[in-house]
Amino acid sequence: MYEAKSKEIVLRRVREALAKSAPFLPPTPDFSSPLHSAPSEELSVEFAQLFIANSGLFLYCESEEDFFDQLYVFKREQNIENLFVWEPNLQHILYHAGIAINEGEENFIADAESAGLTTCEALIARTGSILVSSANAGGRRLGIYPATHLVVARASQLVPDIKDGLQLLKERHKENFPSMVSLVSGPSRTADIEKTLVLGAHGPKLLVLFLIDDLAQ
């Protein structure tokens, strides 16, 4: 008897609610509008702030010559014995700049004194991430195995959001789209063991970006 009475009360309330006029409905969301607001500052400033917040090391270079100088100093200060560079264009300019590098893959060593220098596809300002792919000669290994991953990029590679970087990638490679595309946001890290943050667990302990300002020239 009690259960039947309770059921009737619930049904009566439902009927009463349905008899009333519908409440004010909010406007339908515009799903075509951007999810995130436009960057409020220069892309380079927004990117640098988020990149540093992700534990990356950001080095601004006024020119290509400034990049050579800073790379030379960084290599010496960090005691990098083996700087691996597999991209022909990078090899060429570093050779003429007098910076010692390891060109061949046959002598590849992934230890604490090694570093890999690569380029990238784009820089994502909204997340402070580096968009990389397997399309360049560095492949999948050079940005993962060495303890230090160095990236050289230009300010003209900055884009506002991830979709802009992927669109740039699509236009650049067309039908030869890379088999691996990834966003690198700071050095490798994990907190699986006792919730303690450990850097370099699954990749480089240090991520360094040399940003060459090619827009002011």
Give the residue-averaged pLDDT of 11-26.
76
* In the chain, % of residues over pLDDT 70: 84
Q: Tell me what pLDDT residue 205 has.
A: 86
Identify the residue whose tokens are 């009690």.
2
Give the residue-averaged pLDDT of 144-156.
92
Confidence of residue 1 (pLDDT cuts 50, 70, 90): very low
Quick one: fold of 41-190+197-212? Rossmann fold (3.40.50)
pTM: 0.77
The secondary element (H helix, E strand) that includes residue 201 is none
Q: Tell me what pLDDT residue 213 has.
A: 94
The residue length of the chain stands at 217
- Bigger pLDDT: 44 vs 41: 44
Whether the per-residue pLDDT at 91 is higher than 90: the answer is yes
Q: Tell me what pLDDT residue 9 has.
A: 82
Contacts with 155 (C-beta within 8 Å, 6 or more apart), sequence order: 44, 211, 212, 213, 214, 215, 216
Whether the per-residue pLDDT at 33 is higher than 90: the answer is no
Whether the per-residue pLDDT at 57 is higher than 70: the answer is yes
Lowest mean pLDDT among 43-52, 157-166, 182-191: 182-191
Q: Tell me what pLDDT residue 131 has.
A: 95
Q: Mind giving me the DSSP string for 95-128?
A: HHHT---B--GGG---STTEEEEE--SEEETTTT
